């Protein structure tokens, strides 16, 4: 069958040579249309294609039929056509249902997902201009694998020959499909594009987009490779981590992970699951690299690539006076609100502001002059980063919102008109990267569209998937706005643009070859790759093995506590053992690896007893030698063993036989009261009919005591339970004698009554009360603290002295706090003269979630006994220019007054006025709610609130009887939208509004142009305000704010007050839920 002209034109435009063969059934009806493509290998993964379907005998169609697939992005795309009953305004009618279907056949591809848009067209045979087309867009996946229209066109309309859509009972359908690369299948990015993607750690797509952009800035990549990192820490070095990322992106065949990079930043898992701002990361990361490049052969690379210069100026219009300052920039933030394109944003950036009227410029000797204020560019950088201000403060919602207005940016950008003077080469740029954000201020997804070689061939980097994309997908479809494409992804738009200067493009995009990477780096990264492969293999095979932890007598000798060894603290000799190995084979293998014959070793599993002690227990080899070692270990993931080894000095050829019925394995510890130390001395097999006294010669010999030295014997039953042993009893008479029991002994001929810790019992009692406490500085947020071993029976002074010795400070200058277990934050201070013990301070019954005990401390500038007689106030200082200066901590005697607080604070603040007078106020929610009299006792003030100390202005001193201070707040539209620093203003009783406005303008240093936008109101309560008219010059009276009580009674909770209604020009950026500022800690 010959192709229709419209179909041929479509194929010609796409440069695809398709021939359409009709497949007919035995009734000569078309059931499928087979599309045969030329150069299948080339076109299999193409980003777009045409699905064609010619249906013969349409009037006889009863069921649904599928076209043959056209492969786009490696997936089969078909047209699904059917006759359907649909409900319309006219009732139930028949319609032609047409759907685009993406349904992979193989099981391996069932987890796919793919975003695509398509134009479905019913060809008009009479006039192609009258083709009937409808658009779709959809995320296709296994459960929603088709998308289209149940009533693409009314059935009768399709069958009407006069309409031109049917010819000889045949119709022709086409679907032009444009698809993104699929996720969830084995998409080979390297094969299809030559590039690899990056794994998303949780919410790191913003980072991946930036890293791919920096990687494709080849000159930067070369410089990073040349940074000296031979001696860098493999975990904490940011330059080494960047080298590793770039190396893997260059040579890996699979998506690259970023965990080692984020670890080098000092980030934890929470940071990786928190989406940050890509612009902020760009600035912080480049700053970090620039700092690390200093003193190396690549010093200055970052400024050479990204630094431009601009001049800020003020030029007087009537006198010859210019004030200017040259500044550097590494990126430009462009305002997009109300702007159509980049050119308009640049014009807005350099727009001139007139300084006239009351906002004239102080031109030194020329006095106040009319002037023009603005910026002009001196030099544009080789690599230009443009950050589009998509997120801006919305005063109505009091939060940042995303502006998704249509905003165009060109592939080629010329910036000549914005230069002060021409440069040696014109500032003409080619678009290199478009970083795209989908979502809103509270989250979303980032992808990067890159033109890596600057040749107009674009690629889309979407986490681990990289694919070729069309220029219009990279540029036009990311303008944002509400046009057709934006309907598909209504919150998708460009967020950051990277342009490369045409005169530098060859140098910046120069090829990075193997020779640009040092041999040292290659060896290091290949070795890391090899070790990662080994660890990966071990993880994959981990279920076939379990761990055996071997302890020998050397571990017991190094242990000075209860039991023979402390699990988790001592480092055992670990072996990875196959679960299927028999116990006999394991013993032979273990002995061989330890370097002994099998007859020289015996295994004793370390088991936990009912009293929570851990002791060796016997295992009968004869009965269990055929069992699997995993079964002998009771199928535990790890199995601790004591490995008994024949003494190398022994003349015996093997370990002696051990009779489980008549013998017992005993271990021995010797206590020296002089050294206050207990030590392990050995073990023996003993017949249970022997007397304890018969053991004494052996014990004296082990510790070098004379033959007649008397000994005291004890059994170590469990911690804090040490029982004396009668030496004239048989071993069998000891209650529940069993293998693994521990006998402690010491000399009995010492003056024990003169020793501090005289007996084994005293020693273990002391040990039982020993605890490790972590002391954290509560003035440092997130302080990890220092661990100090202490005794639970210590009093306050003993504890303070022990901590002070570690911190290197006099204990009198420390204050301690009990922990708050609900919030793990400092709680109630501990009084230095308290009668309690450390057990009470740490709340012995409750441990922190990490099983540690915590106390908090702070270093004092005065002695603790003096400190406890004072009250502590943390105050912010606001100078006479209504600027917050700093926070000061003030110590005042508990019987002092506000005047004493202010006198103490005066020595810690920087005055801006000669009067040097202070007052104390309290603020909440940007309102002044209290003005405290100097005579007020500080005992009536709350130390839990942050007070404010104000520098008093000269016009506020010595107020006349008809004057009063009134509270003033900033707000925007609604009273609850208060912001900024509230202040007090002297009011003359009956003063005109115009006079008040003039004084406010001067006090706050606001330009005429800005002040025109201010509105004024008297706010009488949190819900009531009276807007003051600009047309009337109303008089304001003191009674409006103080009522009949007079100025002696400050307005309760800050109402009534005088309100300044205007937009907040310095809002704190809303970072969305859980988001915090980016910081690279290393």
For the annotated catalytic residues, the residue numbers are 205, 445
**∠ CA 18-19-22, rounded to 5°:** 135
**∠ CA 565-570-576, rounded to 5°:** 110
Residue 11's CB is within 10 A of a number of other CB atoms, namely 19
User: Distance between CA 346 and CA 380 in Å, rounded?
Assistant: 13
List, in sequence order, every residue forming a beta bridge with 410; answer none if it has no partner.
none
CA neighbours closer than 13 Å in the CB half-sphere of residue 554: 6
User: Distance between CA 92 and CA 90 in Å, rounded?
Assistant: 7
First-to-final CA distance of the chain: 69
Q: Is the peptide bond before 1056 cis (omega within 30 degrees of 0)?
A: yes
Residues sharing a CB contact under 8 Å with residue 545, sequence separation 6 or more, in sequence order: 576, 577, 578, 579
User: Distance between CA 954 and CA 941 in Å, rounded?
Assistant: 27
Buried b (16+ CB within 10 A) or exposed e, 369-378: bbbbbebbbb
Using alpha carbons, list the distances in angstroms from residue 643 to 573, 591, 596, 650. Answer: 10, 9, 11, 17
| Secondary structure of residue 999 in the 3-state scheme | helix
Residues sharing a CB contact under 8 Å with residue 980, sequence separation 6 or more, in sequence order: 926, 969, 970, 1064, 1066
Using alpha carbons, list the distances in angstroms from residue 787 to 81, 790, 944. Answer: 73, 10, 29
If you count them, how many residues does the chain have? 1082
Structure-token pair, residue 804? 């002070």
Task: Encode 411-458 in three state secondary structure.
Answer: CEEECHHHECCCCCCCCEEEEEEEEEEEEECCEEEEEEEECCCCCCCE
User: Distance between CA 924 and CA 69 in Å, rounded?
Assistant: 67
| Secondary structure of residue 481 in the 3-state scheme | coil
Sign of CA dihedral 1055, 1058, 1063, 1067: negative
Structure-token pair, residue 35? 């599309």
Of 384, 489, 383, whose CA–CA distance to 436 is shortest? 489
User: Distance between CA 325 and CA 348 in Å, rounded?
Assistant: 20
Structure-token pair, residue 985? 């203003």
Q: Is residue 545 within 8 Å of 629, Cβ to Cβ?
A: no
Of 277, 139, 272, whose CA–CA distance to 210 is shortest? 277
Of 1066, 900, 884, 1065, whose CA–CA distance to 983 is shortest? 884
Q: Helix crossing, 519-540 with 238-251: angle to 10°? A: 80
Helical ranges in 252-373 per DSSP H: 259-264, 269-272, 278-293, 301-306, 342-349
Q: Based on the number of CB atoms within 10 Å of its own CB, is 187 exposed (0-12), middle (13-18) or buried (19 or more)?
A: buried
User: Distance between CA 22 and CA 2 in Å, rounded?
Assistant: 11
Q: Is residue 931 within 8 Å of 958, Cβ to Cβ?
A: no
Structure-token pair, residue 498? 């990277």
User: Across the chain, which distance is largest between two alpha carbons, in Å?
Assistant: 128
For residue 55, the Cα-to-chain-centroid distance in whole angstroms is: 55
Residue 1052's CB is within 10 A of a number of other CB atoms, namely 10
User: Distance between CA 728 and CA 711 in Å, rounded?
Assistant: 12
């Amino acid at each position: 069958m010959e192709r229709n002209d419209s179909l041929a034109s479509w194929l010609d435009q796409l440069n695809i040579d398709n021939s359409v063969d009709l497949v007919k059934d035995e009734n000569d009806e078309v059931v499928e249309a087979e599309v045969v493509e030329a150069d299948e290998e080339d076109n299999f993964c193409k980003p777009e294609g045409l699905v064609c379907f010619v249906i013969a005998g349409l009037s006889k169609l009863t069921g649904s039929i599928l076209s043959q697939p056209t492969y786009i992005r490696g997936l089969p795309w078909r047209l699904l056509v059917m006759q359907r009953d649909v409900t319309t305004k006219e009732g139930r009618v028949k319609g032609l249902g047409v759907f685009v279907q993406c349904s992979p056949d193989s099981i391996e591809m069932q987890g796919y997902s793919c975003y695509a848009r398509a134009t479905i067209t019913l060809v008009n045979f009479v006039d192609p201009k009258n083709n009937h087309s409808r658009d779709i867009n959809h995320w296709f996946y296994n459960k929603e694998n088709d998308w289209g229209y149940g009533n693409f066109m009314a059935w009768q309309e399709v069958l009407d020959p006069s309409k031109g859509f049917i010819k000889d009972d045949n119709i022709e359908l086409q679907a032009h499909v444009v698809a993104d690369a699929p996720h969830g299948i084995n998409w080979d990015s390297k094969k299809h594009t030559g590039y690899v993607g990056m794994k998303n750690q949780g919410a790191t797509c913003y980072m991946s987009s930036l890293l791919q952009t920096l990687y494709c800035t080849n000159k930067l990549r070369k410089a990073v490779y040349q940074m000296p990192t031979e001696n860098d820490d493999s975990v904490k070095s940011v330059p080494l981590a960047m080298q590793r990322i770039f190396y893997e992106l260059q040579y890996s065949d699979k998506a690259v992970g970023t965990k080692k990079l984020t670890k080098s930043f000092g980030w934890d898992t929470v940071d990786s699951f928190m989406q940050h701002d890509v612009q902020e990361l760009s600035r912080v990361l480049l700053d970090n690299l620039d700092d690390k490049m200093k003193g190396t052969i690549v010093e200055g690379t970052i400024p050479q690539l990204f630094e431009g210069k601009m001049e800020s100026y003020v030029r007087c219009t009537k006198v010859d006076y210019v004030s200017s300052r040259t500044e550097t920039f590494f990126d430009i933030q462009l305002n997009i609100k109300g702007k159509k394109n980049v050119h308009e944003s640049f014009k807005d950036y350099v727009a001139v502001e007139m300084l006239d009227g009351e906002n004239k410029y102080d031109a030194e000797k020329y006095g106040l002059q009319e002037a023009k204020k603005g910026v002009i560019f001196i030099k544009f950088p080789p690599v230009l980063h443009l950050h589009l201000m998509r997120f801006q403060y919305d005063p109505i919602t009091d939060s940042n919102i995303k502006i998704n207005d249509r905003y165009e940016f060109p592939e080629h950008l010329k910036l000549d008109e914005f230069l002060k003077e021409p440069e040696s080469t014109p500032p003409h740029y080619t678009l290199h990267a478009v970083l795209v954000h989908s979502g809103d201020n509270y989250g979303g997804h980032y992808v990067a569209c890159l033109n890596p070689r600057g040749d107009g061939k674009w690629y889309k980097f979407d986490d681990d998937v990289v694919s070729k994309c069309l220029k219009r997908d990279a540029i036009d479809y990311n303008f944002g706005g509400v046009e057709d494409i934006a309907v598909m992804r209504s919150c998708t738009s460009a967020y950051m643009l990277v342009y490369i200067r045409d005169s530098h493009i060859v140098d910046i995009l120069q090829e990075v070859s193997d020779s640009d990477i040092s041999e040292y780096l290659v060896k290091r990264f290949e070795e890391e790759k090899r070790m990662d492969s080994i660890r990966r293999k071990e993880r994959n095979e981990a279920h076939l093995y379990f761990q055996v932890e071997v302890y020998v007598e050397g571990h017991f000798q190094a242990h000075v506590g209860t039991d023979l060894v402390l699990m988790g603290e001592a480092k055992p000799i670990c072996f990875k053992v196959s679960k299927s190995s028999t116990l006999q084979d394991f013993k032979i293998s273990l002995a061989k690896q330890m370097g002994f014959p099998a007859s020289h070793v015996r295994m004793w599993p370390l088991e936990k007893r009912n009293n929570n002690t851990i002791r060796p227990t016997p295992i009968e080899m004869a009965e269990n030698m055929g069992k699997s070692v995993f079964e002998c270990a009771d199928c535990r993931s790890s199995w601790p063993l004591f490995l008994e080894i024949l003494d190398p000095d022994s003349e015996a050829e093997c370990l002696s036989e051990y009779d489980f019925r008549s013998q017992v394995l005993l271990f021995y510890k010797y206590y020296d009261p002089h050294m206050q130390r207990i030590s392990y001395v050995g073990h023996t097999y003993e017949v249970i009919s022997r007397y304890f006294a018969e053991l004494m010669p052996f014990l004296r010999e082990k510790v070098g005591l004379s033959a007649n030295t008397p000994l005291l014997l004890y059994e170590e039953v469990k911690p804090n339970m040490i029982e004396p042993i009668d030496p004239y009893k048989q071993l069998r008479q000891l209650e529940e004698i069993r293998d693994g029991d521990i006998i402690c002994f010491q000399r009995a001929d010492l003056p024990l009554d003169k020793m501090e810790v005289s007996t084994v019992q005293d020693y273990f009692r002391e040990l039982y009360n020993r605890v490790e406490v972590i002391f954290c500085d509560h003035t440092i947020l997130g302080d990890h603290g220092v661990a100090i071993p202490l005794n639970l029976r210590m009093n306050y002074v003993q504890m303070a002295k022990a901590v002070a010795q570690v911190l290197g400070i006099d204990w009198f200058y420390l204050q301690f706090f009990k922990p708050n277990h609900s919030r793990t934050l400092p709680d109630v201070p501990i009084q230095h003269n308290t009668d309690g013990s450390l057990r009470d301070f740490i709340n012995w019954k409750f441990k922190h979630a990490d099983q540690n005990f915590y106390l908090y401390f702070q270093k004092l500038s005065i002695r603790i006994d003096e400190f406890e007689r004072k009250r502590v106030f943390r105050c912010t200082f606001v100078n006479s220019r209504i600027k917050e200066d700093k926070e000061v901590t003030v110590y005042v005697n508990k019987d002092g007054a506000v005047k004493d607080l202010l006198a103490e604070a005066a020595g810690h603040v920087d005055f801006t006025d000669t009067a040097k007078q202070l007052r104390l106020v309290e603020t909440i929610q940007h309102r002044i709610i209290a003005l405290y009299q100097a005579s007020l006792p500080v005992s009536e003030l709350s130390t839990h609130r942050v007070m404010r100390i104000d520098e008093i202005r000269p016009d506020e001193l010595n107020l006349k009887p008809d004057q009063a201070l009134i509270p003033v707040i900033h707000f925007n539209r609604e009273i609850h939208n208060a912001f900024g620093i509230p202040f007090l203003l002297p009011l003359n009783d009956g003063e005109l509004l115009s006079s008040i406005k003039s004084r406010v303008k001067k006090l706050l240093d606001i330009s005429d142009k800005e002040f025109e936008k201010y509105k004024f109101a008297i706010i009488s309560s949190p819900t009531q305000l009276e807007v003051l008219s600009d047309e009337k010059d109303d008089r304001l009276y003191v009674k409006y704010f103080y009522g009949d009580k007079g100025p002696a009674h400050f307005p309760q909770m800050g109402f009534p007050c005088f309100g300044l209604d205007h937009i907040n020009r310095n809002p704190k950026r809303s970072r969305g839920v859980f988001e915090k500022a980016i910081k690279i800690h290393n």
